[in-house]
Amino acid sequence: MIFYTKTLTAMLMLGVSAAAAQAEDLVIFQNWSSPAEVAALNVLKTAAAEKGINWIDITIPHDTGSSVSLMNLVVGEQPPHIFVENNTGVYRDLSGMNLGRDLTEAFTQSGAIDHFSAAVKKAITIDGEIRKIPLGVHIDGMLYYNMEVAAKAGVDPTTWTSLDAMFADFDKIRAAGFQPLAVGAQQWQIGYLFHAMMATLAGPEIYNQLYGETPDAAAIDTPEVRSVFTWLRKFQQQADEGSVNRDWNMTTNDVIAGKALMQIHGDWMKGEWRVAGKEAGKDFGCIPVPGYKAVPVTVDGWGALGGQPPEKDAAEMLFAQIVVDAKVNADFASVKGATPVRDDVDPATLDVCAQRVVELLKDEARQVNNPSVTVDADWSNAIWEVAFNFWSDPTMTEDAAIAALHGQFDTILN
């Protein structure tokens, strides 16, 4: 059994030096598997090895429930040291088991905390403590498009000022022989599309009513939520037959290969374009969803398990500092398709898509958090389920979907 011990400042400082001097094993639990994700992990592995950390991997498939697998490892007394997890509830559960790890000191000591944007600080802070290691910043609702396909179809996505303007070009795109919009019809992808459209159509106030720490059932009956289902149906009716259960990166590859014009998803799509040897602004373009009222922000968050012996404690803290090192983080973000978590990166070193994300992050009034940061996991998963059922059943009406949301709300939150 692991017992929690509070690490003193002096022990941390000595421990970091010791960890750097000799190899220290760290078990890393993660679920990244696309080519771009693997390449990004290799950036971190190399940097960690240079500082004396031996990375031992535990990898699970992306959509198999990482938090459940993590807690099974913890309860089974085979816990990892570093783990992928964004859900706030998991960190609170670990605190209740005396396995929480406050990383504030590690980032303060390295000076990184002074260069985290407000969005990053908000995403990694839980109950007044920094509990997550921020790896990269993503916008969940971005539109990436193939510039060659756009030219052949005679459309310019940068001129679209609304979803209606975008949709009006679908017939033209299809007539040119291309799929207008590529979608991967898996539950989590449709769930992400749902909250991206919520941000786009509803804006921060209603979005936060639905996805806030204390969700408000009144949000479900708003015209904005109904309009999200309306747009989901429009997109579903335009989806190609191959969309069913297609992984997100394979969907991206359909756009890269010129089968489809665009994909609306997280801007980790850029990593797949980069792996394919494509250049932002030359081969592919990137814009927020047309007409957006807000953009949903994801900060990839990894945690460190508390209750470690001094040498593991120090190695975890060193790992956290390595990940947010200015150069390491910039190199990681470039490969992953993310934007660096630090604001002291030279903008000239960023591609045009990352520069666009930096611009979006400057407008704090028009950004919202990924639901995993704020909302109860059961409620978030329930929204995913309703959205996916709606997508999968063309006969399901907006009224039925709204009623289903109310039913889930009453069951989970009342």
Assess if residue 2 is contained within a domain.
no
**Counted domains in the chain:** 2
Q: What is the CATH number of the domain that holds 240?
A: 3.40.190.10
Please report whether residue 331 resides in a domain: yes
Whether residue 193 is found in the same domain as residue 307: no
Task: Write the CB contacts of 182 (distance below 8 Å, at least 6 apart in sequence).
Answer: 240, 243, 251, 252, 254, 255, 259, 260, 262, 263
Q: Does residue 129 sit in the same domain as residue 169?
A: no
Are 306 and 329 members of one domain? yes
From the first residue on, what is the mean pLDDT of each consecutive set of 10 residues in the chain (414 residues)?
33 38 86 91 97 93 67 90 91 94 95 91 94 95 97 98 98 98 97 98 97 95 98 97 96 98 95 94 98 95 94 96 95 91 86 92 91 90 97 98 98 93
Q: Is residue 307 domain-shared with residue 355, that is, in the same domain? A: yes
Element (H, E) at 285: strand 284-288
Same domain, 371 and 358: no
Instruction: Give the pTM.
Output: 0.84
What is the reported pLDDT for 98? 95
The answer to whether residues 121 and 250 touch, using CB atoms and an 8 Å cutoff, is no
Same domain, 113 and 203: no
Give residue 78's domain range.
9-137+299-364
Strands annotated E in 212-278? 260-265
Pairing between β-strand 367-369 and β-strand 142-146 as defined by DSSP bridges: unpaired
Are 252 and 226 contained in the same domain? yes
Direct distance between the N- and C-terminal alpha carbons of the chain, in angstroms, rounded to an integer: 36
pLDDT score of 62: 63
Residues 353 and 371 in one domain: no
Residue 1 confidence (pLDDT): 32
Question: How wide is the angle at C-alpha 91 spanned by C-alphas 90 and 96, nearest 5°?
Answer: 95
Domain match, 169 and 247 both: yes
Inside any domain, residue 227 = yes
The answer on 264 and 146 residing in a single domain is: yes
133-139/142-146 β-pairing: unpaired
